[in-house]
């Protein structure tokens, strides 16, 4: 066989000719294509090159990278006889070939009668101070890897492998550790994944996954779960479901050991097992990897979907600074998720309109574009202007844009709603409610004007000595509030005597964890006829009418700004709030 340059096919001019004396390849063969014959040297029926040889066997071909013949590691080449460097060294050290006692393949065997693949699998699954178990480690298959990724070579490698396979006799063996944190960090680090798929637990079967969990790790996490259950007063069924869920998510991991990704724990909801409590146990053991996409990030990705690439990059810069802040000049504090959603939501229609007209970047936007996009007047103009100003000002400060087209563009102020009083009969009925939680909530708002955030964050220690400590203010509690507060605390202690939640307002869900009651629970407890905002406005209006519109007193009593206090003081001459008016509702 000639070793000169192989002639190319006269038709496609891409691949060598099929054989000597022929001007075509098998694909371009007249009347073809024709199926190439198997390689004369290795018998392979793929990657035919020329003259009866495949690309792996022909000396002039450049074959693709393939798997190692012994350990299946991806990255072997023809120069190393289709073996990785580690297997070449293994064959030199252990030339004898025989069936492996673990997997049954006929390859070079190590000191324990196992091949290098089985030996490496046992080393990967061996815990710190744990037993080197060849049969147990290879029971469920092998973890493949890329060739040359382990920094081990020469005599140091052989000494390390031999030491791993043969325990020292002069040092007494230690019992397997039960500490979860110690086994969460493996000597080889975390096994990275090429792609992620969602597990179908309903189809996989719960018993099989539970049995794959590492017994020592499952026992340690189960003990931690029992401690958390005793502290949070979990029900017995909740504890048992939690233990089952922990064993299942461990069974999804390589070797049945942590760490565990939070996205895999979310799959437990498919088989009606608890997710939150399993996350709490894994987080308490420091073996949880939080890889879930936050809701605000998913919302932002939906908002910028379809926009040009440069505009997406600019908006992403704005979003990251708004979300995380900036410790470098110009410094900026992180903004709340509500502020981010409002500003981008107000500006998004205008941004999409600019993108539809051919603008690919915000650098192309001028002051004229902004003026043309702003509505004529009212709240639509002020909200759109505020959203655009938020984006352009930040990007100009970060030197992403050269100029700020919203500079000196007046967009007006948001139209404020006139505060109105409530029907006194509805408030009185809520104060006399048989539900202790509803009665004390209405009393705290109606007498002391608390906000929703205050009610959520209130803890048991904030109410002491007949005073309410909120936002640095000390508020003396009114007698009706004290009476309803005593009734609620009695109800709370009777209903949840073993709860460890330190918040004042809890329910059957939050009683088992240290988290505040949600805004939805507050709204449902107040009832359909009352809201926190309406009750608070009614209380401030009543105080405004009582003190004659004293702006400073309103600011000190309710924690208002001067502008907000002025908004209430402006209603002092309204006929519905004038005590001398016949339309005024008596208190």
Q: Which H, E and C letters describe 426-458, residue by residue?
A: HHHHHHCCCCHHHHHHHHHHHHHCCCHHHHHHC
Residue 125 lies in a domain: yes
Kindly write down the DSSP assignment for every residue of 113-172, as one continuous string. S--HHHHHHHHHHPPTT----HHHHTTT-----BTT-S---HHHHHHHHHHHHS--SSSP
Q: Are residues 431 and 509 in the same domain?
A: yes
Range of the domain at 238: 201-289
Pairing of strands 463-464, 106-108: unpaired
pLDDT of residue 59: 72
Residue 406 lies in a domain: no
The domain that holds 531 is classified in CATH as: 1.10.443.10
Q: Are residues 520 and 447 in the same domain?
A: yes
pLDDT of residue 554: 79
Q: Are residues 468 and 380 in the same domain?
A: no
**Contact yes or no for 247/259 (Cβ under 8 A):** no
The parts of the chain modelled with pLDDT lower than 50 are 1-4, 152-188, 581-587
What DSSP element (H or E) covers 163?
helix 154-165
Q: Are residues 53 and 73 in the same domain?
A: no
CA distance 575 to 578: 5
Spell 373-399 as b/e; 16+ CB within 10 A means b: bbeeeeeebbbbbbbbbbbbebbbebe
**Contact yes or no for 586/425 (Cβ under 8 A):** no
Q: Are residues 206 and 256 in the same domain?
A: yes
Residue 37 lies in a domain: yes
Eight-class DSSP state of 307: S
Residue 412 lies in a domain: no
CA angle, corner 400, sides to 395 and 402, nearest 5? 95
Q: Are residues 367 and 459 in the same domain?
A: no
Residue 463, CA atoms < 13 Å, CB-side half-sphere: 21
Q: Are residues 470 and 552 in the same domain?
A: yes
Residue 283, CA atoms < 13 Å, CB-side half-sphere: 11
Residue 300 lies in a domain: no
Q: Are residues 559 and 433 in the same domain?
A: yes
CB atoms within 10 A of CB 349: 13
Q: Are residues 273 and 385 in the same domain?
A: no
Phi, psi of 214 (to 5 degrees): -65, 125
Q: Are residues 27 and 132 in the same domain?
A: no
Eight-class DSSP state of 370: H
CB atoms within 10 A of CB 293: 9
CA distance 112 to 98: 12
pLDDT of residue 3: 40
What DSSP element (H or E) covers 92?
helix 85-93
CA distance 110 to 119: 8
Question: 83 CB contacts (<8 Å, ≥6 apart)?
Answer: 68, 69, 70, 76, 91
Domain boundary, last residue among 126, 141, 176 = 176
Residue whose entry in the numeric block shows the structure tokens 């050269």 = 402
pLDDT of residue 171: 36
CA distance 49 to 58: 7
Residue 188 lies in a domain: no
Q: Are residues 515 and 491 in the same domain?
A: yes
Residue 585 lies in a domain: no
Q: Are residues 561 and 433 in the same domain?
A: yes
Report field, pTM of the whole predicted structure over 0.85: no
Residue 374 lies in a domain: yes
Domain boundary, last residue among 43, 63, 83 = 63
Count of domains for the chain: 5
Task: Name the burial class of residue 115, with classes exposed (0-12), middle (13-18) and buried (19+) by CB atoms within 10 angstroms of its CB.
Answer: buried
**Contact yes or no for 457/516 (Cβ under 8 A):** yes
């Amino acid at each position: 066989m000639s070793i000169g340059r192989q002639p190319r096919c006269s038709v496609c001019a891409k691949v060598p000719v099929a054989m000597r004396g022929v001007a075509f390849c098998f694909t371009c063969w007249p009347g073809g294509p024709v199926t190439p014959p198997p390689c004369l040297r290795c018998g392979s029926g793929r990657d035919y090159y020329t003259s009866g040889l495949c690309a792996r066997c022909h000396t002039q071909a450049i074959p693709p990278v393939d798997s190692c013949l012994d350990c299946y590691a991806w990255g072997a080449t023809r120069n190393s006889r289709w073996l990785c460097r580690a297997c070449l060294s293994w064959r030199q050290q252990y030339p004898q070939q025989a069936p492996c006692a673990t997997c049954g393949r006929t390859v070079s065997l190590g000191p324990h009668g196992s091949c290098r693949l089985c030996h490496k699998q046992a080393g990967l699954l061996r815990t710190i101070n744990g037993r080197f178990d060849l049969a147990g480690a290879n029971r469920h298959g092998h973890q493949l890897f890329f060739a040359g990724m382990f920094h081990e070579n020469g005599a140091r490698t052989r000494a390390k492998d031999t030491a791993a396979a043969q325990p020292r006799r002069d040092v007494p063996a230690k019992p397997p550790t039960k500490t979860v944190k110690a086994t969460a960090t493996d000597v080889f680090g975390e096994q990275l994944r090429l792609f992620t798929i969602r597990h179908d637990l309903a189809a996989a079967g719960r018993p099989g996954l539970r049995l794959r969990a590492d017994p020592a790790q499952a026992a340690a996490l189960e003990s931690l779960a029992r401690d958390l259950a005793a502290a949070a007063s979990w029900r017995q069924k909740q504890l048992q479901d939690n233990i089952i869920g922990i064993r299942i998510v461990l069974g999804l991991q390589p070797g049945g050991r942590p760490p565990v990704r939070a996205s895999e724990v979310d799959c437990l909801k498919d088989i009606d097992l608890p997710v939150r409590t399993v996350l709490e146990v894994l987080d308490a053991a420091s073996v949880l990897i939080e890889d879930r996409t936050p809701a605000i990030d998913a919302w932002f990705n939906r908002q910028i979907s379809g926009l040009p690439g440069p505009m997406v990059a600019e908006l992403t810069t704005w979003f990251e600074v708004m979300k995380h802040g900036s410790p470098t000049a110009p410094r900026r504090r992180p903004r709340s998720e509500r502020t981010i959603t409002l500003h981008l939501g107000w500006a998004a229609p205008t941004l999409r309109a600019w993108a539809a007209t051919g603008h690919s970047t915000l650098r192309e936007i001028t002051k004229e574009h902004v003026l043309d996009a702003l509505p004529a007047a009212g709240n639509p103009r002020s909200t759109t202007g505020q959203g655009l100003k938020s984006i352009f000002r930040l990007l100009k400060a970060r030197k992403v844009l050269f100029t700020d087209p919203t500079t000196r563009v007046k967009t007006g102020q948001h139209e404020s709603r006139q505060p109105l009083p409530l029907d006194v009969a509805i408030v009185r009925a809520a104060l006399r409610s048989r539900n202790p939680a509803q009665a004390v909530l209405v009393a705290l708002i109606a007498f002391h004007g608390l906000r929703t955030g205050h009610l959520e964050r209130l803890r048991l220690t904030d109410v002491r000595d007949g005073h309410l400590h909120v936002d640095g203010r000390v508020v003396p509690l009114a007698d009706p509030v004290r009476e309803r507060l005593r009734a609620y605390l009695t109800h709370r202690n009777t209903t949840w005597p073993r709860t460890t939640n330190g918040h004042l307002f809890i329910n059957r869900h939050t009683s088992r964890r240290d988290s505040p009651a949600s805004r939805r629970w507050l709204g449902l407890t107040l009832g359909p006829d009352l809201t926190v905002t309406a009750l608070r406005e009614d209380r401030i209006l009543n105080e405004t009418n009582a003190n004659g519109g004293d702006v400073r007193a309103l600011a000190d009593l309710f924690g208002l700004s001067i502008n907000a206090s002025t908004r209430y003081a402006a209603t002092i001459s309204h006929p519905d709030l004038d005590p001398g008016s016949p339309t005024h509702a008596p208190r």
